[in-house]
Chain A
Amino acid sequence: MRRDTMGIILTNDDRIPPITDIRANSALPIAGRYRIIDFVLSNMANAGITNIGVATESNYSSLMDHIKSGKPWDLDRKNWGLNILPPSLEKMTYGAIKGNIDMLAGISDFLQRSPQTYVILSLGNNIYNINFADVIEQHIESQADVTILYKDMHGVEERELSRFTMLELDENKRVTDIEVQPYYPKTAIAGMDVYVMEKALLESIVDECSARGDRDFVKDALVKKMQGLRIYGYEHTGYTDKIDSLKAYYRNNMNFLDKDIRNELFNPKNPIYTKTKDQSPTKYGEEASVSNSFISDGCIIEGTVINCVLSRGVKVKKGAVIKNSIIMQDSIIEEDVDLSHVVFDKEVYITKGRKLIGQESYPLAISKGTKI
């Protein structure tokens, strides 16, 4: 139980049209029944952190609907618990949020009121299962000012690495250089956008940056203060990725078809919680044929489903064939439809006999409620 630590989740603005048109990135459905934010929220809750603020930027109604009182994470508490923090109009630079410093400045009251010593600051679109208690312990032991979670991505192609905040570490894992999304990365040490520090330090950084018109926590604070701050890395050896593009969204969903990744991320010792919908078990019809797929509750499957991730309440009618696709909640696939490499948002309706084919490198994404 880390009663001395609070969590701040910044829902970020990586846009993935069309599936983020109607919701914050952190609220994207993933792995069938989850939302991306479930991972970081569950990790924090599992570490016994009971004061968590979720700072939102825009499009947050779907996120609020998902999290509500925080009950699934046992965060509906008398003291603290889960707090959704809508943007503060007063703290916006030129009437809009221009960076995470603005977001943090907007929740400075919440930070100030919180009695915890340490804070875990995290973006809300990373997928991983970690024991945060160990991270905080190492942070305290190493007497670091800031601890950054990282993943060693040796062997991953350069183009992919440029999506991350890259770190350079010395032999003691002290961070010696930080580059945010460099085109030519110098290292393969990718930051996971999770930072542990004392709350007082975060408050002073936010105050200072805000006063100077600086906007970015990493570029304007950590990079510039590298010499004066003891910044250390904490290596996460398990699976991680961030959902910042349709390609990443597609790939990460498909990765749940891998047994090892599934077993690691849905480790019963560190469960991932989500809002429950009380849907009935999934029903397989007489002619159903399903293989290598991840299927949520409430579906009715009468057709063929191969290499797919199906969210709750999806209907696949007779003769329909779906391959290599991600289908979100309550979509209906009529008879004899042929789908390959598609990403359907919620409530997509495909009429009888239609054919939609995307490519692995370019999945075909269809927005919520579309009827084809």
Chain B
Amino acid sequence: MVSKDCVAMILAGGQGSRLGALTKNVAKPAVPFGGKYRIIDFPLSNCVHSGIDTVGVLTQYQPLELNRYIGNGNPWDLDRSHGGIYVLPPYQSAQTGEWYKGTANAIYQNISFLEGFKPENVLILSGDHIYKMHYGEMLKAHKQSGAAATIAVMPVPWEEASRFGIMNVDENGTITEFEEKPAEPKSNLASMGIYIFRYDVLKKYLEADERDPASSNDFGKNIIPTMLADGEKMVSFRFEGYWKDVGTIQSLWEANMDLIDNPPKFDLNDRHWSIYSRNMALAPHYVGNNAKITNSTVTEGCYIDGSIDHSVVFGAVELGEGSVVKDSVVMPGAKIGKNVVIEKAVIGADAVIGDGAKVGVNASDDNKYASKLCTNDLVLVEGGAEIAAEEDIYKGSMVEA
């Protein structure tokens, strides 16, 4: 087999439990985002635009929908004869067989996959971030520096730095220290969870890590600190631009809202860096005589006859006459009746909202749907859930199907 300069491995096994009902039946990377995408479209599209044509996707939690979505990889141009996309679930081998114990263990369990491509370098990505990044430039910097590993970092506001893994670097960008969520950060350069390793070094450390029963087999907790302690050359690669971890309902909602600001904080209408996604083969959307759409995005297959303001509406959504959707995210196939009011909500795929219902309009202390996960008065309606006509769903609710 042809040996590859760089193979990408996307960690897509996370449950994403803070996304509540959104990830009840799907893995976090398969959660819809931005009107017509899923979260995993971002790292996949970045790979393709960066010239990386061999990608392993490590799945574990609720993989069915993600597997089906990825298919043969053709939406991302990753249906290749030499390379392409591979879904890599944990498997049973002659001696052992176990779930992925941590991010490092997930890669360790797929060393034989990597061996097949004899890569010079391995790019480790996570499947839950929204950003556009040229990995090719990072790879170039990695090769020039001759580092054992290069870690993408970005400056974050100082007051938020203690929420991240913080890299302390010297004037050349060489990493001197790594601190996971430090109480008193010495730097504001946060690790983005994007690593390029020289494959020979990575293999050595993964094997050593696996032999250590005390290790939690995690890149951030184990592999990187160990490599630093051993004096391996570790270099930071500074990224400036939009990057968002969409691990909570609040951050997922915010990241969607970032698309519709004027000018947008994150622009998807970018012909030079298209984000690819599996297409639903739907007709253009129809905007009816009673519709009013402002400060929003709407996509194929929708039938809109109500008002939409400051919202992200996915494909094949129906919105009846007299209904108003504001500051919300409406996922594919949701059917919203007439005279419905929805404010600051995330409506899951194929949810049905009956005529005259109110979602996120009123507040109440006696709320049977109240959820700790729905912060800042957000409402989450699970995909496929049905809300009866005239029902009042209070702020801060999570309605499950």
A64 in the interface, Cβ–Cβ < 8 Å? no
Query: B297 contacts A283, CB within 8 Å?
Result: yes
Query: B283 contacts A33, CB within 8 Å?
Result: yes
Instruction: For the complex, count residues of A whose C-beta is within 8 A of B.
Output: 39
0/1 string, A286-297, CB within 8 A of B gives 1: 111111111111
A269-290 contacts to B, CB under 8 A, are 271-274, 276, 278-290
- Min CB distance B266 to A, Å, is 11
A262 in the interface, Cβ–Cβ < 8 Å? yes
A62-102 contacts to B, CB under 8 A, are 71-72
State which of A257, A279, A284 has its C-beta within 8 Å of the C-beta of B295. Answer: A284
User: If the complex has contacts A296-B300, A297-B36, are A282 and B294 also in contact, measured as CB distance less than 8 A?
Assistant: no
Chain A CB within 10 Å, residue with most, of B36, B74, B284, B294: B284
Complex: how many Å from CA A291 to CA B294? 12
B269 in the interface, Cβ–Cβ < 8 Å? yes
Stretch of B85-93, B114-122, B273-281, B340-348 with 4 or more beta carbons under 8 angstroms from chain A: B273-281
State which of B275, B283, B308 has its C-beta within 8 Å of the C-beta of A266. Answer: B283
Which residue in chain B gives the minimum CB-CB distance to A271?
Answer: B281
Complex: how many Å from CA A295 to CA B286? 6
State which of A31, A278, A280, A287 has its C-beta within 8 Å of the C-beta of B283. Answer: A31
Query: A292 contacts B287, CB within 8 Å?
Result: yes
A298 in the interface, Cβ–Cβ < 8 Å? yes
0/1 string, A22-34, CB within 8 A of B gives 1: 0000000001110
Query: B296 contacts A284, CB within 8 Å?
Result: yes
Complex: how many Å from CA A39 to CA B111? 47
User: If the complex has contacts A281-B299, A285-B294, A286-B262, are A295 and B284 also in contact, measured as CB distance less than 8 A?
Assistant: yes
B71-103 contacts to A, CB under 8 A, are 74-75
Residues in B whose Cβ lies below 8 Å from that of A289: 292
Residues in A whose Cβ lies below 8 Å from that of B294: 284-288
Complex: how many Å from CA A276 to CA B77? 12
Query: B74 contacts A282, CB within 8 Å?
Result: no
State which of A32, A276, A280, A294 has its C-beta within 8 Å of the C-beta of B279. Answer: A276
- Min CB distance A66 to B, Å, is 15
- Min CB distance B78 to A, Å, is 13
Query: B284 contacts A283, CB within 8 Å?
Result: no
Chain A CB within 10 Å, residue with most, of B269, B279, B295, B299: B269
Query: B281 contacts A33, CB within 8 Å?
Result: no
Residues in B whose Cβ lies below 8 Å from that of A286: 262, 294-295
Residues in B whose Cβ lies below 8 Å from that of A364: none
A223 in the interface, Cβ–Cβ < 8 Å? no
B285-314 contacts to A, CB under 8 A, are 285-300, 308, 312-313
User: If the complex has contacts A291-B291, A297-B36, are A282 and B281 also in contact, measured as CB distance less than 8 A?
Assistant: no
Which residue in chain A gives the minimum CB-CB distance to B74?
Answer: A71
Complex: how many Å from CA A33 to CA B280? 13
Instruction: For the complex, count residues of B whose C-beta is within 8 A of A.
Output: 38
- Min CB distance B302 to A, Å, is 9
Residues in B whose Cβ lies below 8 Å from that of A257: 286
Main SS of chain A's interface residues?
loop
Query: B285 contacts A282, CB within 8 Å?
Result: yes
B208 in the interface, Cβ–Cβ < 8 Å? no
Residues in B whose Cβ lies below 8 Å from that of A291: 287-291
B34 in the interface, Cβ–Cβ < 8 Å? yes
Complex: how many Å from CA A296 to CA B277? 16
A222 in the interface, Cβ–Cβ < 8 Å? no
- Min CB distance A300 to B, Å, is 7
User: If the complex has contacts A32-B283, A293-B287, A297-B284, are A282 and B299 also in contact, measured as CB distance less than 8 A?
Assistant: yes
Complex: how many Å from CA A274 to CA B268? 22
State which of B75, B275, B297 has its C-beta within 8 Å of the C-beta of A282. Answer: B297
B16 in the interface, Cβ–Cβ < 8 Å? no
Complex: how many Å from CA A281 to CA B279? 12
User: If the complex has contacts A278-B274, A284-B294, are A292 and B288 also in contact, measured as CB distance less than 8 A?
Assistant: yes
User: If the complex has contacts A283-B260, A286-B262, are A297 and B299 also in contact, measured as CB distance less than 8 A?
Assistant: yes
- Min CB distance B56 to A, Å, is 23
Which residue in chain B gives the minimum CB-CB distance to A330?
Answer: B271
Which residue in chain B gives the minimum CB-CB distance to A312?
Answer: B284
State which of A272, A281, A293 has its C-beta within 8 Å of the C-beta of B35. Answer: A281
- Min CB distance B319 to A, Å, is 13
Complex: how many Å from CA A149 to CA B293? 42
User: If the complex has contacts A281-B34, A281-B36, are A292 and B285 also in contact, measured as CB distance less than 8 A?
Assistant: no
Which residue in chain B gives the minimum CB-CB distance to A276?
Answer: B279
- Min CB distance B318 to A, Å, is 12
Complex: how many Å from CA A365 to CA B276? 33
User: If the complex has contacts A282-B298, A285-B262, A288-B293, are A295 and B287 also in contact, measured as CB distance less than 8 A?
Assistant: yes
State which of B74, B262, B268, B289 has its C-beta within 8 Å of the C-beta of A280. Answer: B268
0/1 string, A129-170, CB within 8 A of B gives 1: 000000000000000000000000000000000000000000
Which residue in chain B gives the minimum CB-CB distance to A273?
Answer: B281
Query: B293 contacts A284, CB within 8 Å?
Result: yes
Complex: how many Å from CA A126 to CA B299? 27
A–B pairs, 21, beta carbons within 8 Å:
A31-B283, A32-B284, A33-B284, A259-B286, A273-B281, A276-B279, A278-B276, A280-B270, A281-B35, A281-B298, A281-B313, A282-B298, A285-B294, A286-B262, A291-B290, A294-B286, A295-B287, A295-B298, A296-B300, A297-B299, A297-B300
- The interface of chain B, by Cβ under 8 A from chain A, is 34-36, 74-75, 260, 262, 268-270, 274-277, 279, 281-300, 308, 312-313
Given A280-B36, A294-B285, 8 further pairs, Cβ under 8 A: A71-B74, A276-B279, A280-B34, A280-B35, A281-B34, A292-B287, A295-B298, A309-B284
* List of 5 A-B pairs having minimum Cβ-Cβ separation, nearest first: A281-B35, A32-B284, A281-B299, A280-B268, A281-B297
